[in-house]
Structure 1
Amino acid sequence: MHHRSRKWWGYLLIAPQMIGLIAFSLLPFIFVFGLSFTEWNGFGTREFVGFQNYIDQFTSPIFRTALLNTLIFSLIYIPGSVVAGLFVALALHKIKGRNFYRFFYFAPVVTSSVAVGVIWMFLLDSNVGFVNQILAVFGINGPDWLTDSAWVLVSIAILSIWWQLGFNMIIFLAGLQSIPATFYEAAEIDGASPFRKFYNITLPLLTPTIFFVTVMAVISSFQVFDQAFVITEGGPGKASYTVVYHIYERAFEYFEFGTSSAATMLLFIIILTFTLIQLHYSRKWVHYEN
């Protein structure tokens, strides 16, 4: 009787979370999946069109541009965010007052995306922006960060790396603190250099954390939207036009909810594919403790 009572208390405690998951994740996913096979402008009846929305997306130059821009952004953002987060975590791991620095670095994570975007619009302004003024001190003529198609994705990637730096740092700090100090003490007795300790102890034992941060970075990079929407509105031209921006535009500017839903499902498949690939290859390089 006692065991059964504990079981029902467990069900009761997870019920709010499960209800929220079903109501705000599972049911909308099912609705979007069904909507992707229809043509609907948000009013009236939905017309079933089969796979036509998916075919239209595959053959759409606009969707291909959005996908290419998202891939380029991901190639910049993913390694940059992982390396930056690890570097800052290593720097803060054993210094005094690290709780203050944790707060300092984590503050942007909980800051509104609109506020972050507006701040970086001023920082990256080609004429009076702080970034170009700093570069000018060193005799470097800064680029037009937000109006040059060659630099706009780099700009958004830099912003995004800074924005999520605190989250990655916290995860890496947790991973670093889980490594037993005895390993480092044994290495010091053997005369290992700081680099050897990092390469032979820290890095292997940190691989589960690196894997988690990388997976989260991949998912986040393919869902980039706020930064491009606030700062550049997808421009100049379509240089910062991403897949999620495409989904938003199709649904809420052109009211093509069927097309938007099909693009959403394609994005889901792309993210799922990359995640499964990472899970598969993680067995070869991620060190899990037995």
Structure 2
Amino acid sequence: MSSAEVPKSAFWTTRRRDRLAGYLFVAPQVAGIVVFVLVPLVLIFYYSLYDWNVLAGTFTFTGMSNYRDLVADPRLPSVLRTTAFFCGGLVLLNMALALFLAVLLNQRLHGTAVFRTIFFSPVVVSLVAWTIVWQFLLQDDGGINGALSAVGADGPNWLRGDVTALVSVIVLQVIKNVGLNMVLFLAALQGVPAQLYEAARLDGASAWTRFRRITVPMISPTILLASIITVVGSLQIFAQIAVLTQGGPGTSTTVLVYYLYQQAFQFHDFGYGATLSVLLFLIVLVLTVIQWQTRRRWVEYER
């Protein structure tokens, strides 16, 4: 057979068609990440090098001036302390309560499906509507104090005290989102082999020992996932504070995200607001990396 008679291989082979189909399926997601994540992230770093005042119409390159202002900002330490307290309190309370509820609802008891729905329903409720309702309940003459007065107790003005305002926002956010982590933990608990618990009972292990030695290690990958999601989410809380306290009283509930909003959209200093955004990004990045790197010490399947 001459070389002219040798059949040429087709360009659109099965492998190439499958590869193209895969690229087309992931293209919308990749485009969304590039447009809505990577490009804004690059622009934030770019804007942080400028003095940008929208009202004055100025956009002047200042180099590292905004970062020097960040270091010298007298309000920033207080904002960071409030952010740390808010994040720590929310994460610990959310994770502990979600795990407690998941363990309870994992028992084969009558009516658990109803309670699962009750605990998860706040997750799907509109955030703004949820916050406005609680704003009325937490007022000095609101529903919470009305219930307390019915049993002979006097409640404080929850949103006007330095400590009670921050605690109220934390508890409100925990109630709103605890159902999400609860569902994650519940799914993980249902995947734990029952034979492990039976063997532990035969060996005389108590309920606390079974929980500490079996439950926690077996669902530790889910705990890692939930902790990362909760930490990142706690650092991005804005709507609740904007509706309930507006960062007050004083600056007792001014977390980093709300302080960023104040600088950029109330004081119209977008350059400094972008610098605070860079700080927030670095904090989230560092905390996520720390959680990911420490997983080998306590996550069962990473040891």
TM-score range, shorter-chain basis? over 0.9
Equivalent residue for 1:16? Answer: 28
Task: Name the larger-Rg structure.
Answer: 2
- 1:1-290 equivalences in 2 (<5 Å): 1-42=13-54, 44=57, 46-94=59-107, 95-130=109-144, 132-136=145-149, 140-288=153-301
The alpha-carbon deviation at position 248 of structure 1 amounts to 1.1
The alpha-carbon deviation at position 6 of structure 1 amounts to 1.9
The letter for the 1-side match of 2:141 is: N
The letter for the 2-side match of 1:258 is: G
- Classify the secondary structure of the residue corresponding to 1:198: helix
- Classify the secondary structure of the residue corresponding to 1:288: helix
Taking a change above 3 Å as real, the CA distance of residues 210 and 135 of structure 1, as seen in their structure-2 partners, is farther
Tell me the number of residue pairs that the alignment of Structure 1 and Structure 2 aligns: 289
> How far apart, in 1, do the equivalents of 2:54 and 2:194 lie?
59
The letter for the 2-side match of 1:31 is: L
Preserved CA contact (<8 Å) 2:295 2:302: no
> How far apart, in 2, do the equivalents of 1:67 and 1:238 lie?
11
Equivalent residue for 2:6? Answer: none
The letter for the 1-side match of 2:246 is: E
Structure 1-normalised TM-score?
0.92
> How far apart, in 2, do the equivalents of 1:58 and 1:218 lie?
24
- Classify the secondary structure of the residue corresponding to 1:40: strand
The letter for the 2-side match of 1:282 is: R
> How far apart, in 2, do the equivalents of 1:201 and 1:76 lie?
26
- Residues 178-218 of structure 1 show CA distances to partners (whole Å, capped at 9, x for unaligned) of 21222122223333332222121101112111122112221
The alpha-carbon deviation at position 285 of structure 1 amounts to 1.3
The alpha-carbon deviation at position 162 of structure 1 amounts to 0.5
Q: Which runs of 5+ in 2 are unaligned?
A: 1-12
Q: What percent identity do the matched residue pairs reach?
A: 38
Taking a change above 3 Å as real, the CA distance of residues 249 and 173 of structure 1, as seen in their structure-2 partners, is same
Preserved CA contact (<8 Å) 2:99 2:182: yes
Which of 135-144 and 196-205 deviates more?
Answer: 135-144
Which of 173-182 and 163-172 deviates more?
Answer: 173-182
Preserved CA contact (<8 Å) 1:58 1:64: no
Which of 110-119 and 182-191 deviates more?
Answer: 182-191
Which of 235-244 and 35-44 deviates more?
Answer: 35-44
> How far apart, in 2, do the equivalents of 1:195 and 1:165 lie?
23
RMSD across aligned C-alpha pairs, in angstroms?
1.9
Structure 2-normalised TM-score?
0.89
The alpha-carbon deviation at position 82 of structure 1 amounts to 0.3
> How far apart, in 2, do the equivalents of 1:96 and 1:32 lie?
53
- Classify the secondary structure of the residue corresponding to 2:159: coil
Which of 1-10 and 84-93 deviates more?
Answer: 1-10
> How far apart, in 1, do the equivalents of 2:36 and 2:90 lie?
28
Taking a change above 3 Å as real, the CA distance of residues 289 and 39 of structure 1, as seen in their structure-2 partners, is closer
The letter for the 2-side match of 1:121 is: Q
